């Protein structure tokens, strides 16, 4: 049964509050924007509701909750009226802003995982305050339409219509309420709601926003849509929040907040994301809007092409929103083994052709069409691991890349194997460069002579390619020039090759 309002626009409540417009309404209440006739220029949000005996809820109960609360994310009550006919009126601060779902659904371009995580963290702040009271207050109706983003970008809770105090002695809730799609399973009966109920709703809100309003319940379809929007880093948090059993969720809003902080730190690593912004600025300055393509090839089998490609991908991932590494040699088993680390299911290792591991997207043996789609997509950089194969199509990929990295062995006894590359006019290839893992400077000088080029650089030992150390990062900055932010380049020493293509100059 729809809510039947007692006031219309233009009506005056208690001789003071003029109803200027309807801000929103539902089955239990209506909210007006009201002007204050005693304080010209002052505006309030007035919530009109009626006693509903079948639900056992009165607006004065909400007022009783709100009047005792004091937190910047929660609404502040200013006045309360109970009128004849069972109608009640709650006068609250008017928060000028936009509902959370409207904010995200109205954004153009890709969703920002950092922004979504930060809003989730702000919601956790409000929930932590409520759940820390004695007794705790459970919101029970957390959803995007009950959350606003104000003019300062801050989350504000705007409705507490079915909030309740937690009763230690109660086995279940007297009233089963909540919004379908955002309410936790336990809200439909069988047990009392607690703080973990609101955490489920938080997960539903994040999933709803992350899938652009398509889903609010965790499933294989919603997971695929969530990952499609490049929100991989948030998946572990959201999937845990949306567990059907409360004991499998996070234990508290504070614990959830710590998990979200860890996601934010990982996405804005290295000095609070300042270097990330610097790198993105460099990326956006390029003339060609497609992805940068880096091809990595081993001059001989066992030179370390795959290891170098992985190290480079995870180093660049610290400064760019999306880095993709592609395994071009179908005979290689490296990405299959990494897929096992990422998925943890040995039965899926051969089937996973697209997966994400530690902030890097991995793609196994794409078709030419798939590779072109990647390059023309939203990645900042696509790194092609060509292995040491000499197939014609892979050699062509190596030649056409924006930056072609030839990985050479340091051992002198393999010197003859480099001769075919030395006979080619490598020095004339503007975007070709050589790297030599585990090399001494004597070995680097020798290979420079053999290759007739000065673009030969050593790489240090890196035992963990998924989390490269500072020494490795500096060496790669030397190798790749302006792919890395200036702050990294300033820490490198020796000769530096400036990749002019990156700057957009010929």
Residues 6+ apart with CB under 8 A from 214: 222, 225
Residue 47 known to bind ligand: yes
Answer left, alpha or beta for residue 505, where phi above 0 means left and psi between -120 and 50 means alpha: beta
For the sheet containing 155-157, what is the strand order? Answer: 97-99, 147-150, 155-157
Question: Contact at 8 Å (CB) between 451 and 445?
Answer: no
Q: How far apart are CA 361 and CA 386, in angstroms?
A: 17
Using DSSP's 3-state secondary structure scheme, residue 306 falls into helix
**DSSP character at residue 361:** E
Q: How far apart are CA 327 and CA 363, in angstroms?
A: 6
Q: What token pair was written down for 381?
A: 């950089």
Q: Are strands 381-387 and 323-327 parallel, antiparallel or unpaired?
A: parallel
Residues 6+ apart with CB under 8 A from 455: 427, 432, 433, 434, 497
H or E stretch at 325: strand 323-327
Question: Contact at 8 Å (CB) between 337 and 466?
Answer: no
297 DSSP β-pair partners: 387, 406
Question: Contact at 8 Å (CB) between 133 and 89?
Answer: no
Using DSSP's 3-state secondary structure scheme, residue 327 falls into strand
Answer left, alpha or beta for residue 360, where phi above 0 means left and psi between -120 and 50 means alpha: beta
SS (HEC) of 76-138:
CEEEEEECHHHEEEEEEECCCEEEHHHHHHCCCCCCCHHHHHHHHHHHHHHHHHHHCCCCCEE
Residue set of the binding site: 47
Residue set of the binding site for ATP: 47
């Amino acid at each position: 049964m729809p809510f039947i309002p007692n006031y219309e626009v233009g009506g005056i409540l208690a001789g003071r509050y003029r109803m200027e417009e309807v801000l929103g309404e539902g089955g239990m209440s209506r909210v007006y924007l009201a002007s204050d006739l005693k304080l010209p220029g002052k505006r309030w949000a007035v919530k009109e509701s009626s006693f509903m005996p079948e639900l056992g809820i009165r607006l004065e109960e909400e007022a009783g909750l709100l009047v005792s609360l004091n937190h910047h994310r929660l609404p502040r009550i200013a006045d309360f009226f109970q009128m004849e006919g069972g109608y009640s009126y709650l006068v609250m601060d008017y928060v000028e802003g936009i509902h959370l779902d409207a904010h995200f659904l109205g954004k153009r371009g890709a969703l920002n995982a950092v922004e979504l995580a930060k809003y989730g963290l702000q919601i956790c702040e409000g929930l932590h305050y409520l759940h820390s009271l004695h007794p705790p207050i459970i919101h029970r109706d957390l959803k995007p339409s009950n959350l606003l983003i104000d003019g300062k970008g801050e989350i504000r809770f705007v409705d507490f219509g079915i909030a309740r105090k937690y009763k230690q002695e109660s086995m279940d809730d007297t009233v089963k309420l909540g919004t379908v799609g955002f309410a936790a399973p336990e809200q439909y009966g069988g047990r009392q709601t607690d703080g973990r109920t609101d955490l489920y709703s938080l997960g539903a809100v994040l999933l709803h926003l992350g899938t652009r309003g398509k889903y609010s319940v965790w499933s294989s379809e919603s997971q695929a849509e969530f990952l499609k929007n490049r929100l991989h880093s948030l998946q572990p948090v959201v999937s845990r929040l949306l567990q059907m059993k409360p004991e499998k969720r996070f234990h508290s809003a504070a614990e959830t907040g710590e998990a979200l902080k860890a996601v934010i730190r990982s996405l804005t690593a290295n000095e609070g994301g300042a270097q990330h912004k610097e790198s993105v600025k460099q990326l956006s300055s390029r003339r060609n809007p497609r992805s940068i393509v880096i091809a990595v090839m081993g001059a001989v089998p066992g030179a370390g092409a795959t290891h170098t490609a992985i190290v480079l991908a995870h180093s660049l991932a610290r400064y760019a929103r999306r880095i993709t590494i592609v395994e071009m040699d179908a005979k290689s088993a490296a990405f299959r083994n990494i897929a096992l680390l990422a998925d943890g299911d040995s039965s899926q290792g051969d089937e996973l052709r697209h997966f994400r591991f530690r902030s890097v997207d991995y793609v196994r043996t794409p078709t030419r069409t798939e590779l072109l789609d990647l390059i023309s997509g939203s990645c900042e950089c696509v790194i092609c691991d060509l292995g040491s194969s000499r197939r014609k199509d892979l050699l062509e990929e190596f030649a056409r890349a924006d930056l072609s990295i030839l990985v050479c062995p340091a051992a002198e006894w393999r010197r003859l194997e480099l001769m075919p590359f030395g006979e080619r006019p490598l020095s004339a290839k503007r975007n070709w460069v050589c790297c030599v893992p585990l090399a001494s400077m004597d070995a680097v000088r020798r290979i420079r002579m053999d290759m007739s080029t000065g673009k030969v650089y050593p790489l240090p030992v890196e035992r963990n390619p998924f989390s490269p150390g500072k020494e490795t990062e500096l060496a790669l900055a030397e190798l790749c020039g302006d792919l890395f932010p200036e702050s990294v380049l300033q820490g490198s020493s020796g000769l530096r090759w400036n990749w002019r293509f990156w700057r957009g100059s010929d």
